[in-house]
Structure 1
Amino acid sequence: MEVVIKISTTEAKKYLLIDTSVLPDVFEEVIQVKELLRSAKVKDITEAVKKVGISRSTYYKYKDYVFNVSDGLKSQKVTISILIEHRRGTLSEVLDKLAQRCCNILTINQDIPINNTANVNITFDISGISGDVKNIVEELKKIKNVLKVEIVAME
């Protein structure tokens, strides 16, 4: 397991990628508490720290400075622009494909069809997706009546 540790300085923030085998166990335990809270497997911080075996003060001391690499570096939201032919069921098929890949739709904005085509912008959460965004875009391009798919933004 790798952990990112934020080192506070008076200048710009610095991050280190460190293998957990060389770190004290407390850093991994803080990560475990954060995961218990995120997954709602416990009702509050007190229960989480008891379950992991660290004090609340230890958790609060490090919680804002230690996180998994995926927490700090993985993109969480993607906005794509899709040009579709104005045919019944096309947008529904696109949304079904995103749902199959565990994308959580945040916003959908569809323009009025002009010349039998419509532009659709979709923003979705990719924190729980299966596969990667490029594969999803390629799958969307294969849907009948989808003319163009582009990634507009990713954060």
Structure 2
Amino acid sequence: MDGKYLVIDKEILPDVFEKVLEAKFLIKTNKVKGITDAVKKVGISRSTFYKYKDYVFTLSEGTRGKKVTISLLLSHKMGVLSRVLEMISENKANVLTINQDIPINEIANVSITFDISNLMTNIDTILKMIKAIPGVEKVDLVAME
């Protein structure tokens, strides 16, 4: 098994991990005065926060300065790929490579790798926004580096 990180659905984890993330968010966005206020607000102890704060992070937090590859199935209609690229660019990601197969049965398989160093939101949000574009049939996260 490569690497030391795992991607795990939060549904199977104890609530404490999500509460640590909530506390970190409150602190980062200045919605609380400090760690003591943040942990009180989310309902965990300071020791729990300190125990996990450097080990629990959202997918996009843990990948700053990294690359993401997504795979898409796009309808063979004018402007669909352009709108996907525009969505990526609007969120301050930098497209590195685009690979597109010839459309078969009016569907094209596209792979896009982009740099998320300056991403304005998280990967989940970007994927949801791309899925909402008319003509995008499917989006999958292939890899994060």
Q: Would you call these one fold, judging by a TM-score over 0.5?
A: yes
Please give the secondary structure, in 2, of the residue aligned with 1:95: helix
- Distance in 1 between the 2:133 and 2:64 partners? 27
**What is the CA–CA distance in structure 1 between the aligned matches of 2:117 and 2:90, rounded to whole Å?**
14
Give the superposition deviation at 1:75.
5.5
Secondary structure, counterpart of 2:118 in structure 1:
coil
Q: Which residue of 2 aligns with 1:105?
A: 95
Give the whole-Å Cα distance in 2 for the aligned partners of 1:73 and 1:95: 20
TM-score by length of 1: 0.53
Q: Deviations over 1:28-76 (max 9, x none)?
A: xxxxxxxxxxxxxxxxxxxxxxxxxxxxxxxxxxxxxxxxxx9x86361
| Gapped regions of structure 1 (runs ≥ 5) | 1-69
What TM-score results when the alignment is normalised by the length of structure 2? Answer: 0.56
Percent sequence identity over aligned pairs: 52
**Once superposed, which parts of structure 1, at least 4 consecutive aligned residues long, lie more than 2 Å away?**
72-75
The structure with the largest alpha-carbon Rg is 1
User: Please, which of 114, 137, 141 is the counterpart of residue 124 of structure 1?
Assistant: 114
In structure 2, runs of 5+ residues without a counterpart are 1-59
Distance 2:97 2:138 in 1: 19
Map of 1:137 onto structure 2: 127
Which is strand-richer, 1 or 2?
A: 1
Residue 140 (structure 2) pairs with residue 150 (structure 1): yes
SS of the residue corresponding to residue 128 of structure 1 reads: coil
RCO higher in structure (CA 8 A, sep ≥6): 2
